[in-house]
Amino acid sequence: MGGVEPTPDDSGRHVWPTFQAAHKHYGFPGSHQVGSWGDACGVLRTYSNSSIGKDLVPERCGGAEIWYRLKDDAVKAKFLLNIGSGQRLHFFRKVALPLPLSTETETETGVGVENSGDNGSGSDAAVKEEEVEKRKRKRKRSSRQFGCKEMGLFRVAGFGVCAHVPGSTPPPSAVLGQQNTHGRGRDTHVRLLQDDLEGDQEQEQERK
């Protein structure tokens, strides 16, 4: 997957060619090269490159819950503002796209059929060499298979210390330490939830 962790998605979310394209479409302020950008009310939008072991996106929630790794205390302070203001943020995530099936099909059938009637050994060798070169060119053009998935609007639910095995989608027990909303601990991640998980959040508060 090219160093990109899978992103659970049970809603068929939109995929942009790049985050820059999404940034331009929505007219977000600032540079698209900044991971999290905010205003006086908190973070407006966040982009994750989905590096292995960076974020935690539980598969059970289908992308509606994200534990996003905090770069430093300055970024954490921005997310704290969201809790006070209630401002939702747009979340985008780099995703690996499947290779197009037509690439291999066209390469396998195109040259061989056209030259099937030629029995000359020299010609056959040339055909095979051309076929190999076509496969290489096709695969090279298809090597950049990444997009930017628009995960939707999220609210900041709190902070915590999060750890998981790279490449896995662990259960909630993989979250170490109690979630908090004051941000005074040595937190590693911010917890983001979509509004359809509001009931889940209320149940957590009751358990506490």
Instruction: State residue 149's pLDDT score.
Output: 95
In a domain, 78, yes or no: yes
Inform me whether the pLDDT recorded for 176 exceeds 50: no
Q: How many domains does the chain have?
A: 2
CATH of the domain at 189: 2.30.280
Residue 7 included in any domain: no
Residue 53 pLDDT: 81
* 109 and 32 in a common domain: no
Q: Cβ distance 201 to 156 under 8 Å?
A: no
Q: How confident is the model at residue 92 (pLDDT cuts 50, 70, 90)?
A: very high
**Mean pLDDT of the region 110-118:** 42
Residues 68 and 150 in one domain: yes
- For the chain, the farthest-separated pair of C-alpha atoms sits apart, in whole angstroms, at 80
23, 25, 29, 31 alpha-carbon torsion, rounded to 10°: 30
Residues 19 and 110 in one domain: no
Whether the pLDDT of residue 203 is over 80: the answer is: no
Same domain for 137 and 174, yes or no, is no
Range of the domain at 136: 101-141
Residue 51 has pLDDT above 70, yes or no: yes
Q: Which two tokens stand for residue 191?
A: 């917890």
Residue type, 86: G
Q: Write 202-206 long-range contacts (CB < 8 A, 24+).
A: 204/179
Mean pLDDT of 164-171: 47
| 68 SS3 class | strand
| Cβ atoms 158, 179 nearer than 8 A | yes
Q: Is residue 165 very low, low, confident or very high in pLDDT (cuts 50, 70, 90)?
A: very low
Q: Say whether both 135 and 191 belong to one domain.
A: no
Half-sphere exposure of 100 (CA within 13 A, CB side): 13
Given 141, 168, 193, the domain boundary residue is 141
pLDDT of residue 207: 37
Task: Note whether residue 4 is domain-resident.
Answer: no
Nearest to 48 by CA among 21, 73, 78, 70: 70
At residue 13, does pLDDT exceed 90?
yes
In a domain, 20, yes or no: yes
CA 41/CA 171 separation, integer angstroms: 32
Tell me, yes or no, whether 48 lies in a domain.
yes
pLDDT of res. 114: 41
Same domain, 150 and 80: yes
Q: Are residues 79 and 172 in the same domain?
A: yes
Query: Which region among 48-62, 125-139, 147-161, 169-183 has the lowest average model confidence (pLDDT)?
Result: 169-183
Residue 1: inside a domain: no
167 and 75 housed in the same domain: yes
